[in-house]
Amino acid sequence: MTPKIKICGLTRWTDVSGVLDLGADYCGVIVYPKSPRAVTRDQAWDLCQRIPAGKRVMVDVNTGADELEGWADCGFDHFQIHCDIDVSLATLAAWSGLVGKDRLWLAPKIPPGRSFPQEILEFADTILVDAYHKDKYGGSGQTGNWDQFADWAAMYSHKRFILAGGLTPDNALEALQASGAETMDFNSGVEASPGIKDPAKLKALFEALRG
């Protein structure tokens, strides 16, 4: 089982170049202002011009419709939006209508014990499941429930599921085996500091999953 790999929280071309050389399938660029890994619009534009088409992923939280339209103009291919579990259907429809359900990656914030919000499946072909944190939208470094991920991915197999949350070079293989994830998202687990990637950790990650 060889998963696709997304490296998220990229802020510098030197790191983007490094992960592309290693074979990353997706490069995540965070535009959420409250994130310690957030980039400016100018930085996002510059990175999008250099990342190969098909690999450019915008990452934001509860994006406004006007904002989403603007980020689409930067050249992003995919739009990963973290949202609350009770996000309105009108908001979901607006996001999906702006970028298309094939390019929208929804990341609902699902508290432990809550059932999967099936209504979101109408609006996106890709669902990202992150570890739950009461006060954060992703980026917490906490490990998610890999067995729960596997259950949901099997239950809604007509959609693509991406595993995120606390993934590191040390637990990547175990997470893959437990979750069966076809795509995995790495961020803080391959960093030297927020927004700065660690070449040694990245190399170890790709060796663990593809070595």
Q: The CATH number of the domain where 54 resides is what?
A: 3.20.20.70
Question: Are β-strands 196-197 and 191-193 bridged in parallel, bridged antiparallel, or unpaired?
Answer: antiparallel
What's the burial of 160, exposed, middle or buried (CB within 10 Å: 0-12/13-18/19+)?
A: middle
CB distance 58 to 78 below 8 Å: yes
Contacts within 8 Å (CB) and 24+ apart, 43-52: 43/11, 44/71, 44/74, 44/76, 45/74, 45/75, 46/13, 47/10, 47/13, 47/16, 48/74, 48/75, 48/76, 49/75, 50/13, 50/16, 51/16, 51/20, 51/27, 52/20
Q: Domain total for the chain?
A: 1
Confidence bin at 170 (pLDDT 50/70/90): very high
Number of C-beta neighbours around residue 29 at 10 A? 26
Residue 38: predicted pLDDT: 97
Residue 207 lies in a domain: no
Question: Is residue 211 in some structural domain?
Answer: no
pLDDT band at 144 (very low <50, low <70, confident <90, very high): confident
Q: Does residue 119 form part of some domain?
A: no
Does residue 16 register a pLDDT over 90?
Answer: yes
The answer to whether residue 199 is domain-embedded is no
Is pLDDT at 150 greater than 90 in this prediction?
yes
Mean pLDDT of 144-168: 95
105, part of any domain:
yes
102 inside domain: yes
Residue 37, in any domain of the structure: yes
Identify whether 78 is part of a domain: yes
Report pLDDT digits (tens) over 32-76. Answer: 999 999 999 999 999 999 999 999 999 999 999 999 999 999 999
The model's pTM is: 0.95
Residue 143 confidence class, pLDDT cut points 50, 70, 90: confident
Report the pLDDT value the prediction gives residue 183, as an integer from 0 to 100. 98
Whether 134 shows a pLDDT value over 70: the answer reads: no
For 142, the domain range is 4-110+124-191
